[in-house]
Amino acid sequence: MVGCRKLHTDSINASFDCDILVRFQLPPTNGDGGSFLKGSIESLRKETDILYFKHLDVFSPTYIPPASRTSIWRMNLEIIMVLISDTFSCIFIARLLFHVKKRPQMVPSVSVLMMLILALGYMVPPVLNFEGMFSTIRMQNDLSLRTIGGWLEIIEMVVRTVTMVAFILQLHLLHLIWTAKPNNNDGNQKNPWISEMQTFIICLPVYILGGLTMWLVNWKNNNYTIASQGSIWGDLRSYAGLTLDGFLLPQLVLNVLQISKGNALSHSFYIGTTFVRLLPHAYDLYRGPKNISQQFDRLYIYANPRTNFYSPSCDIVICCGGIVFAVIVFLQQRIGGRFMFPKRFQESAKSITNCL
């Protein structure tokens, strides 16, 4: 680094000597924080120059605040949890791929809209979240964050690779289900694409209404200021995360419309994916109040408060809602798509869905 020293104390005629080379060797922080900082300060001027000074060695103990050490431990834990979650996502998607190939007759009962939502969910993090996550870590100048050291590039590569594998598998699954669905009516069976369009017509207003509600609440809370645009964008990202948490909604609606019965989805896929989506909220409850200093607020890698709804009440509601969706899909595949309707209303429900 280049160092400067002030030559005159007069603030009006102040001058500086910036021909100074400063070298520091930063200590590792994976220990107990009792390491030392070593370095040197030397002048780049000739020895005959009046401003020249002799070589100086610097040796100083360093101290890592407890809040910094807590943040380092949390960041390492969250990176591991991201890798585990994405790895399990790949496994669950692969299980559904084998399930669909063994039971092609169940393909018409799998929601294309659900697969599309999941594919978009796997596509966005490599483009936005990871870039912001790792660039934020790189921009930190605090000594304590150097615990990641030279492993940052390797960690980034592994996380990106696993997530990209999950996205490719999900995209392949979407393509397989899209192309395997018949386009014509088969006897008395309704064209499955009609049910897909009906599912889209029912779910789209729900998603739009939820997004508009968030936008209006944010607009009101920020007093219609231009500065609130970033907050609106953050809320929309959070709403996208909420949509992913409820990824089973299109499948639930499709099962009602088709009165489907049978294992259209493998149990490991929808139960496992639900677990992966709800695990960040369970972890957020375990993590408790976010009392870490503001310097580290942006370094949430897993269960990032800026990319989803994370608060004790939201965590509980979302976890309960995801479990309820999974239980309903399980009963639909076991009993029937409209098991929740009273028998005297099932015919009327059927006539209503046929009119959509």
**What is the residue-wise DSSP string for 102-152?**
H-GGGGGGS-HHHHHHHHHHHHHHHHTHHHHHHHHHHH---GGGGGSTTHH
The pTM (predicted TM-score) of the whole model is 0.70
pLDDT at 138 exceeding the cut of 50:
no
Distance between CA 7 and CA 45 in Å, rounded? Answer: 15
Q: Determine contact, residues 91/76, Cβ cutoff 8 Å.
A: no
Confidence class of residue 242 from pLDDT cuts 50, 70 and 90? confident
Most confident of 2-16, 98-112, 279-293: 98-112
Q: What is the mean pLDDT of residues 229-249?
A: 77
Q: Could you identify the residue written with the tokens 């594919």? A: 119
pLDDT at 240: 82
Q: Which amino acid is at 347?
A: E
> Taking residues 116-135, what's their average pLDDT?
66
| Cα–Cα distance for residue pair 87/222, rounded to 1 Å | 39
Torsion of CA 302, 305, 309, 312, to 10 degrees: 90
If you average pLDDT over residues 43-52, what whole number do you get?
84
- pLDDT tens-place string over residues 210-224: 888 877 776 766 544
Residue 355 has pLDDT above 50, yes or no: no
pLDDT tens digits along 140-149: 444 344 444 4
pLDDT at residue 48 greater than cutoff 90: no
Query: In this structure, how many other beta carbons lie within 10 angstroms of the beta carbon of residue 267?
Result: 14
pLDDT by residue (tens digit) across 50-95? 888 888 887 776 655 555 556 667 777 888 888 889 899 999 999 9
